[in-house]
Structure 1
Amino acid sequence: MDRLRVFIAVDIEEPLVVSAMERVKEALVATRVPMKPVEAQNLHITLRFIGEVPRGVVEEIARSVLARLEFEEFEVEFRGLGAFPSPLRPRVVWVGVSEGQEQLARLHESIEEGLRRLGIPPERERFVPHVTLARLRGSRNLTALVKLLQEYEDYVFGRMRVTSVRLKKSTLTPKGPIYENLWEVKAR
């Protein structure tokens, strides 16, 4: 059976925001901590990671979850560099969202409700809107990274308007994931 690895996201397409994230990503790489940075064209806010599901389920998600999603355009401000699970024990380095959190949370909740109706179990972790910049692959030079996280903890990366939400396919490759848009919902 044909299975696709999918997620629902807001892509970061504002050039000034992307270039600010790219500059900070260069500083992250310069710490020489082993990591896999996210490519500029793959920067996004994940509203819901779904995982591998049959193609028929992907079509049902598009038809009965995304097609019913209604929202108005809104502004998001990207502020602060952080890490999961914590800045002192980083595994994932991210950019935070300071404005627009409520609207993103409402989108997430609408998507969650739709997915539950399809029998897809809810996410275990609390939704925290963020943009992943890099995934760590080791702990060498961690002190330099922790210092950088502190330096940029309140840095403003810029603003963008959220005008669409996309259902995306993720194909994992040795060089990193390749994302493809499967479905898009535009703001009213």
Structure 2
Amino acid sequence: MNNKNKHLRTFIALDVNESVQGILRDTILKLERMGFKGNWTKPENLHLTLHFLGDTPVTKITEVAKRMEERIVGFPTFAFNVDKIGYFKSNNHPRVIWMGVEGGNTLKQLHNEIIKSLKLSNIQVTEEEFTPHLTVGRIKKAPEFWEKLIKVLDIERVIVPVSAVHIYSSTLTRTGPIYKKMYSIDFEGGMIING
């Protein structure tokens, strides 16, 4: 296939550290013991999504990376906290269980810069509120008093330093998605092409 016409499923995200990956493992074990069944996030795949691009032409991904570099080089290094468990529900059933992220105005500003980069690249962006979270899993089956059980789960507060934003490709397989880092935009060093 001609590389010019090639599309990749992509998203823009921040990485997390090993402490957060450890909390994810512990949380999944607790949820499984409580009777939750779901498609759990693999610790090595855990990230904070800033924007899901979906199926995007490779040439457009390169353009987005360049626009992001223009907008976020010089952005201040900051940190976000991971400090609670929550969920999204529909019809009184949990759809997604997540770890809450608090990054204050700096995280919101970074998200705004990413959205501006996308608009400059002529990518349609829906204006929905940014709710930063780390997906623990998509729930297939929940125990009867699931809301009360989630409320008793608490996690140790972890601070995650941020000095770069990444563009990942996502290949869906039967055993779960495979993520590959395509570009990293370092706040100080600029763009790094990861192959």
Same fold, TM exceeding 0.5?
A: yes
- Say which SS state the counterpart of residue 104 (structure 1) adopts: helix
Aligned partners of 1:46 and 1:129 also within 8 Å:
yes
Give runs of aligned pairs for residues 7-156 of structure 1, distance below 5 A: 7-12=11-16, 14-70=17-73, 71-85=75-89, 88-98=92-102, 100-137=103-140, 139-143=141-145, 145-152=146-153, 155-156=155-156
Q: Is the 8 A contact 1:33 1:142 kept in 2?
A: no
| SS of match in other structure, 2:64 | helix
Aligned-CA RMSD value: 1.9
* Number of corresponding residues: 183
Deviation at 1:142, TM superposition (A): 4.4
Alpha-carbon distance between aligned partners in 1 of 2:69 and 2:8, rounded to the nearest angstrom: 17
What is residue 176 of structure 2 aligned with on the other side? Answer: 176
Give the % identical residues: 31
Bigger-Rg structure (1/2): 2
TM (normalized to structure 2)? 0.86
Kept in 1: contact 2:93–2:142 (CA 8 A):
no
Check 1:66–1:91 CA distance in 2 against 1; reply closer, same or farther (3 A cut).
Answer: farther
Q: TM-score, with normalisation over the residues of structure 1? A: 0.89
- Give unmatched runs, 5+ long, in structure 1: none
For 2:12 and 2:151, how far apart are their aligned partners in 1?
30
Q: State the SS of the aligned residue for 2:22.
A: helix
Distance 1:123 1:56 in 2: 22
> For the residues of structure 2 that align with 1:123 and 1:105, how far apart are their CA atoms?
16
Cα deviation for residue 21 of structure 1 reads: 2.1
> CA contact under 8 A between 2:68 and 2:185: conserved in structure 1?
no
Work out the CA distance in 1 between the residues paired with 2:142 and 2:71. 47
Aligned 8 A contact 2:39 2:138 in 1: yes
Q: Which residue does the alignment assign to 1:166?
A: 166
CA displacement, residues 154-182 of structure 1 (integer Å, 9 cap, x when unaligned): 53341121121100000011111000000
